[in-house]
Chains A and B, each alone.
Chain A
Amino acid sequence: MTLQLTVITLLVVMLIALWRACIGPNVFDRVLAANLFGTKTVLLIAAISYLHGSPDFLDIALVYALINYISVVGVLRITELRNEHAPGDRRG
């Protein structure tokens, strides 16, 4: 029963993250939302694999846990590069 509750909570949190990703306001909110979405997906897949009783799904959660953070590092590098290109541009 609590497992179902956890799945529902995860879906609600994903909805909130998606809402934040849609309204912004600045681009880092969207990155944060995508990142939050990623960790919630890890949890959702883990929880669903227990609902199903098929532990194969955990491999997918493991992939996410490993590569979720690459795109955040990518964003960091890109903001740095933009600063080098245009030091005057200080909008978010």
Chain B
Amino acid sequence: MELAVNIVLLSLLVTTAAALVLVRGLLASIMLTSIYGLLSASFFVIMDAVDVAFTEAAVGAGVSPLLLLLSVAVIGRHEARNAGARPLFAVLLVGITGALLIVGTLDMPAFGRADAPAHLHVAPRYLLLSGEETGIPNVVTSVLASYRAYDTLGEVIVIFTAGVAVILILASGTHRGSARPHSAPVDTKDPHTILQVVSKTMIPFMLLFAFYVQFHGDYGPGGGFQAGVIFASGIILYGLLYGLPAICRVIRPPVVELCSALGVLVYGVTGILSMLQGRPFLDYSVLADDPIRAQQIGIMVIELGVGITVASVLIVIYYAFANQFETNGN
């Protein structure tokens, strides 16, 4: 049964990818991208990779189509006709890259083989000992936030950098200082009463669920990344329906900008605290007397940092885009 479902899902995935290349309208491509995200998430669920599926659900199918829609709102929805001006060269390049990738996979061990390198190096140790060493049932969380905390710090800094880049590009010129509420509220002729009422009932649940995902990440799927995305989605939904000035009154742009840096700071300071006590960077054992308790505190604090950064960067990006198209409209 599982094999059959896998085959069907993967063929749907290939079909979606092909359709994605063939359609011309940008909105159509965005919708296919969202379908692609949904399919990969179902596929990850069947592969038992619950945390990855969670991220794909929140990012690939939820927020990234939304950000793409916002950018289409700024640039217009039709692909330029001369987008593939040198198709032969492009086909050649893609063909060579694809061939190299396929050649590369020939060396890979068969899927699920017990003696594959991925199962021999550190993975057995993580699987066997992470429960004892960190006291956290979800192995993904303990690997991500404790054993591999350096890598995660790198990821958080990448996200922060992306936010800074968007502010620098979109908020330059007259609108310096990122999105400020210059524009008029959503047109009052057509106030979307139904959507506003329904969204108002749903947004509190979304924010609450974000907190659940944030703090339940030790026990179930989830963690800072997913929680941040869900939190930001709730805020963005409010902004879409009530307009940029309304959401800027709730969460002021300078505060979000500050928070996006604050998350990285929280993460980094946790690492430096252990250095001050003469231990390696991001060694949590200094945070409490009991080593397991220390691990749990450390993981909770850095997950919080991740969550704050991800949520604020997404909100900052939304503000920058919304500022663009709402001021263009007036």
Contacts and interface: CB of A to CB of B under 8 A. Distances in A.
* A–B direct contact (CB < 8 Å): yes
Interface of A: 4, 7, 11, 14-15, 17-18, 21-22, 24, 27, 30-31, 33-34, 37-38, 41, 44-45, 48-49, 51-52, 54, 56-57, 59-60, 62-64, 66-68, 70-71, 73-78, 80-82, 84-85
B62 interface: yes
B12 A67 contact: no
A67 B240 CA distance: 13
B209 A66 contact: yes
A33 B31 CA distance: 8
B34 A71 contact: yes
A14 B69 CA distance: 23
A63 B62 contact: yes
17 contacts: A15-B8, A18-B15, A21-B35, A27-B25, A34-B32, A37-B38, A41-B39, A45-B41, A49-B45, A60-B221, A63-B58, A66-B205, A67-B233, A71-B62, A71-B66, A71-B69, A81-B325
Query: What DSSP secondary structure best describes chain A's contact surface?
Result: helix
Interface of B: 1-2, 5, 8-9, 12, 15-16, 19, 22-23, 25, 27-28, 31-32, 34-35, 38-39, 41-42, 45-46, 48, 50, 53-54, 57-58, 61-63, 65-66, 69-70, 72-73, 77, 187, 190, 192, 195, 199, 202, 205-206, 209, 213, 220-222, 226, 230, 233, 236-237, 240-241, 325, 328-329
Given A60-B57, A74-B70, A15 B28 contact: no
B325 A56 contact: no
A76 B209 CA distance: 25
Contacts, number: 165
B230 A66 contact: yes
Closest 4 CB pairs of A and B: A67-B62, A30-B31, A34-B31, A74-B69
